Structure 1
């Protein structure tokens, strides 16, 4: 894909690889009175993939839910392109260019492939270029083109993952939040998914915050990585160093 489907994303046009598109400052958030995240600080530069790693219960999914507005922080700031998101409604975040693909993929199984994709475009409020956007998604995910009239419940796990990603991409996001995209997929499909993320970054400059249990796959495509433990960031480093540093891997990732 060049740019994003049908048109370039709305932005300042001044982002560089060192510009934090997303900044999280002193973030504390959770469910009810029980915080899961504790004073988290994280900068996600524009045009990079940042892998968020850690054990189950470390706070990775909660971090993505806080960024996308599904939960509200009790303390701290979440800045997207310099603007605070903490009081912004979910639908406004989508229009600003944030797309969230949750764990479990979130495909509406009663709708067809094309109806799911059209819904993604409507959420961003882009009607005029809809056909061109659909065509680009079908070029990117050829199995979806063959099954465009099939309801979601007839798709394989890999096809549902493609559909969830396609529905997010058709909204032309600047920031893609991905939660466990490899969960339950065959190794071949996992490799294809990771390669797609690399392509989106390299061709369109898309920024990706990737939560993933498949450590090897995530580190193979990420520029940077953070390891979470008990709701805090325990390690932040380049993905290459984390991949090759045995001490860090043994201490925080268990291999």
Structure 2
């Protein structure tokens, strides 16, 4: 039996000022799966994540998380309802230590004991962070900053993780480790991931579903394996 849809997007229109970037986007992501959003620069991938997480306000459309309409929901309430967004650029606070950055991810949580357990679990997942927990954010490598941004989101125990360009500027081995971790989190915790990624091969290798965007619209939504194996689709939309 297939998993229920955790995220449902219907007719989403959003942009900056009077200029629409997203044009009636429809999208569904089943619970406990990874959906990779791919496409050329300017296709609207990052704008999609920003609209879902409340960084920009949609002009039209509907966003449902576990059947709950999120229209008009403040960003802090989206976090409480189980959505976490790791934007492009990682967003690490360079003046704070690793431990302080991670604890920010759980400040809103009332169950302090479980917040502590979540912090311990992040250190188990990311051993380099455990070794550098007293180091400041600006003292970390690019790969460590990516771990820290992802770990901070996980401390909040999200149901849905929005992840924007996690491979940007990272060495191939670090990218491979990050993608493998996403699959591990999906399998171990049931985490649902909406992944925006320019590294199409890596994204489709880890994803269950592939979503191709072009000019602000979803033009193809199919199993990731179908996109990987269909030469016509790849040549038409993905450039390889």
Please name the residue that 2:184 is paired with: 199
Distance 1:131 1:254 in 2: 45
What's the offset of the Cα at 1:129? 2.6
Number of equivalent positions = 240
Please name the residue that 2:3 is paired with: 18
| Aligned partner of residue 114 in structure 1, secondary structure | helix
Distance 1:158 1:90 in 2: 27
Distance 2:187 2:234 in 1: 27
Matches within 5 A, 1:18-167: 18-167=3-152
Distance 1:126 1:229 in 2: 42
Distance 1:133 1:220 in 2: 28
In 2, are the aligned partners of 1:17 and 1:48 still within 8 Å (CA)? no
| Aligned partner of residue 128 in structure 1, secondary structure | helix
Give the TM-score taking structure 2 as reference length: 0.98
Distance 2:234 2:108 in 1: 40
| Aligned partner of residue 195 in structure 1, secondary structure | helix
Change (3 A) 1:177 1:149: same
Distance 2:109 2:16 in 1: 28
Give the TM-score taking structure 1 as reference length: 0.92
Kindly provide the CA deviation profile for residues 106-162 of structure 1, in whole angstroms up to 9, marking residues without a partner as x: 001110000000000114444233332221111100000000000000000000000
Q: Does 1:175 align with 2:160?
A: yes
Unaligned runs of 5+ in 2: none
Unaligned runs of 5+ in 1: 1-15
In 2, are the aligned partners of 1:17 and 1:46 still within 8 Å (CA)? no
In 2, are the aligned partners of 1:194 and 1:217 still within 8 Å (CA)? yes
Distance 2:97 2:89 in 1: 18
Distance 1:237 1:23 in 2: 15
Change (3 A) 1:49 1:17: farther
Instruction: After superposing the two structures, state which structure 1 stretch, 122-131 or 231-240, moved more.
Output: 122-131
Please name the residue that 1:233 is paired with: 218
Please name the residue that 2:193 is paired with: 208
Change (3 A) 1:31 1:124: farther
Kindly provide the CA deviation profile for residues 71-126 of structure 1, in whole angstroms up to 9, marking residues without a partner as x: 11111101111111121000000011100000000001110000000000114444
Change (3 A) 1:17 1:91: farther
